[in-house]
Amino acid sequence: MATNLKNLSSYCPNQIPSVKGVKFGIVVSEWNEEITNALYKGAKETLLKHEACEEDIVTIRVPGSFELTSGAHLLVERTDVDAVICLGCVIKGETPHFDFICQGVSYGISQLNLRYNIPFIFGVLTTMNQQQALDRAGGKHGNKGNEAAISAIKMCEIIWRLKK
């Protein structure tokens, strides 16, 4: 569904389980920092709203969106997180750089999902301009950070159900 048809922050809170005791990793790109800080704030607030403890949220910052994959890999190799949320923002410019970064990050995160038995969430905005990014980082279309946190919670819930 196109983002302009759905608010990224909309969900039914009473259908989301408590995540008390669940450990989350959040990897945040420093590039487009105004946007990624807003995504981070949305993700963290959503996790805390659903009873995650502050000390159960491990955050690392990486230089850019391309480094999200490496940062997520390092995080899962050196901590005991149950899920990793990758937050970044790539805005199309005048060169094909946008395409290479977006392809590399999406492929890298999908490979991490296949390699490890925990969810890695793609919370990366890929927009045509700054305004579209702002609209999706707490603006008129909600916050992709909220959506990424809810996705992480839901994926953890699926794992718990399958283990029973």
> pLDDT truncated to tens, each residue of the chain (164 aa)?
455 667 877 787 888 888 999 999 999 999 999 999 999 999 999 999 999 999 999 999 999 999 999 999 999 999 999 999 999 999 998 888 899 999 999 999 999 999 999 999 999 999 999 999 999 999 999 999 999 999 999 999 999 999 88
pLDDT of residue 104: 96
Task: Please confirm, yes or no, whether 97 is among the known catalytic residues.
Answer: yes
| CB of 47 closer than 8 Å to CB of 149 | yes
Q: How many residues does the chain have?
A: 164
**Catalytic residue, candidates 50, 73, 97, 141:** 97
- Domains of the chain, by residue range, sit at 21-163
CATH architecture assigned to 21-163: 3-Layer(aba) Sandwich (3.40)
CA dihedral 143, 9, 115, 100 (to 10 degrees): -40
Of the candidates 124, 135, 77, the one whose C-alpha atom is nearest the C-alpha of residue 98 is: 124
| DSSP at 13 | G
Tokens of 138: 């707490």
In which residue are the tokens 């992480």 written?
Answer: 152
pLDDT at site 111: 97
Distance CA 134, CA 140 (A): 8
